[in-house]
Amino acid sequence: MQPKHRGQWATNLGFILAAAGSAVGLGNIWKFPGKVGENGGAAFIIVYLAIVLILGYTVMLTELTVGRATQKNTVGAFRQLDRRFTWIGVLGVITGFFVLSYYSVVGGWVMKYIVTYLTGGDFGLSHEGYFNQFIAKIGEPVGWHLLFMAIVVLVVLKGVSGGIEKVGKVFMPALFLFLILIAIRSLTLDGAQEGIRFLLRPDFSSLGVKGFAAALGQAFFSLSLGMGVMCTYGSYLPKNENLSKSALIICGLDSLVALISAAAIIPAVFSTGADLGMGSGFAFISLPGIFEKMPAGYFFGLLFFIMLFFAALTSAISILEGTVAFISEEFRIKRATAAIASAAAMALAGIGYSLASGAVNLRAPWFDFVNGWHMISLATWMELLTDNLLMPLGGLAFCIFAGWMWGVKNAVAEVEQGGKFKFYLKTMFSVSLKYICPAAIVIILFFTVGLGIG
């Protein structure tokens, strides 16, 4: 029986934008251009797009299908289909817990930068000094993190169609527009050609196993896969939704935003001679420096961080919704209580990430075959654990379950309820779900752990 109060998307476009809003996030704008820079430019992009098409599309469609078939939160979905696999849903909720706790800290940094721009854009003597001093404080980054989390909770409290769908419908088109403006600015800078060449000329020699592992982790993170969030969003869909087409559009939009972000950021980096370094420093240190040097840079800097805020918010909302759906439906607790309680727990874990990013030397044990057990920063630990381990593991579990237990036939039948499943897509999905996805994920996971790739 369906609980009467269960939310549903009001429109098909609203669902697509909300799902794309989940996918398009810090991963596309903050992480993707850096990974492209680190792993040989065009070669990485080619491998990344192939992984999105063959593996990402399959897992995306599988998650949406499991959700739509059961009309339940991820844990409830597995319980209904096969009780023995309930743990896959639980694993997703645990992963979501870690992801949102650190995601919200970075969301807080973004808000701090918006305010810095709005109050004159004064970064003091150096951008690096500004960022490092900021994250080394105890109270201020934590305060921004809590504020970001509070905004996420407010949207989720408004419900599926009343909050999440409405925010997606406004923020996603705005984000797209801002991104295109920034890309045009960047591509027309003097000296941008070198960056454009880097994006178009593949150099496979600098890719290696590390490049493949990075592309897989990035694809899962960017498409919001492996933690049941897309399964939850799929559960709010009516039976007449064309799932195979929707999954294609969501994967396409997400990749498009990633590509435009790379086109917006990499030529600017080349043109100003900045370092294409990775990680948090890239968006918060190099980019403000780049904006400062370009004409109308203040305006584009502000636009960039507002856009990053939109991207981060719609993704964070989706993660919290996954957990809220689980808690409220499985334990029959009010949505509001579930949202506030789970966000509070995640916020607490986020404080650990925030402190470990600068203020305090918090470390956690990590294992890889090269170094054995060793201690790494808690901040790195949380990102490695989720992006490189838990999310691919969750995706693998979804594939093995849907491909071998529930069965490709059932999955395809559910997809076909909503409209035509084109023959070539159906064939690719069926083969990929059962064989290619599990094998590829296992191989890449093995190398990730084996080589200690972070």
- Tell me the window of 47-55, 204-212, 277-285, 313-321 that interacts with ligand PFF (CB under 6 A): 313-321
- Tell me the window of 216-224, 323-331, 342-350, 430-438 that interacts with ligand PFF (CB under 6 A): 216-224
Does position 255 bind ligand PFF by CB under 6 A?
Answer: no
Does position 233 bind ligand PFF by CB under 6 A?
Answer: no
Q: Coil, strand, or helix at residue 363?
A: strand
Question: Rounded to an integer, what distance in angstroms lies between the CA atom of residue 294 and that of residue 23?
Answer: 30
Amino acid at 80: Q
Does position 319 bind ligand PFF by CB under 6 A?
Answer: yes
Min dist. Cβ of residue 94 to ligand PFF (A): 12
Min dist. Cβ of residue 320 to ligand PFF (A): 10
Min dist. Cβ of residue 28 to ligand PFF (A): 5
Min dist. Cβ of residue 99 to ligand PFF (A): 5
Does position 28 bind ligand PFF by CB under 6 A?
Answer: yes
Amino acid at 226: G
Phi, psi of 418 (to 5 degrees): -95, 5
Does position 318 bind ligand PFF by CB under 6 A?
Answer: yes
Give burial (CB, 10 Å; 0-12/13-18/19+) of 96: buried
- Tell me the window of 67-75, 170-178, 315-323, 374-382 that interacts with ligand PFF (CB under 6 A): 315-323
- Tell me the window of 72-80, 290-298, 314-322, 425-433 that interacts with ligand PFF (CB under 6 A): 314-322
Which residue number, 58 or 271, has a Cβ lying nearer to ligand PFF?
58
Does position 221 bind ligand PFF by CB under 6 A?
Answer: yes
Does position 395 bind ligand PFF by CB under 6 A?
Answer: no
The alpha-helical segments, DSSP class H, found in 26-73 are 26, 32-38, 42-51, 57-70
108: closest CA among 75, 139, 72?
139
Which residues have CB under 8 Å from 295's CB, separation 6+? none
- Tell me the window of 25-33, 80-88, 361-369, 398-406 that interacts with ligand PFF (CB under 6 A): 25-33
Give burial (CB, 10 Å; 0-12/13-18/19+) of 136: middle
Q: Coil, strand, or helix at residue 373?
A: strand
Min dist. Cβ of residue 222 to ligand PFF (A): 4
- Tell me the window of 26-34, 236-244, 293-301, 396-404 that interacts with ligand PFF (CB under 6 A): 26-34
Does position 400 bind ligand PFF by CB under 6 A?
Answer: no
Give 233-294 as a DSSP string. Answer: HHHTS-TTS-HHHHHHHHHHHHHHHHHHHHHHHHHHHHHHT-----SHHIIIIIHHHHHHHS
Residue written as token pair 């469609």: 61
| Single residue of 18, 19, 20, 23 touching ligand PFF by CB under 6 A | 23
Which residue number, 222 or 242, has a Cβ lying nearer to ligand PFF?
222
Does position 91 bind ligand PFF by CB under 6 A?
Answer: no
Which residue number, 31 or 68, has a Cβ lying nearer to ligand PFF?
31
Does position 315 bind ligand PFF by CB under 6 A?
Answer: yes
Q: Which two tokens stand for residue 41?
A: 């430019």
Question: Rounded to an integer, what distance in angstroms lies between the CA atom of residue 224 and that of residue 22?
Answer: 7
Does position 22 bind ligand PFF by CB under 6 A?
Answer: yes
Phi, psi of 417 (to 5 degrees): -60, -30
> How many CA atoms lie within 13 Å of 312's alpha carbon, on the beta-carbon side?
26
Does position 59 bind ligand PFF by CB under 6 A?
Answer: no
Does position 215 bind ligand PFF by CB under 6 A?
Answer: no
Binding interface with ligand PFF (CB under 6 A): 22-23, 25-28, 99, 221-222, 224, 227, 229, 315, 318-319
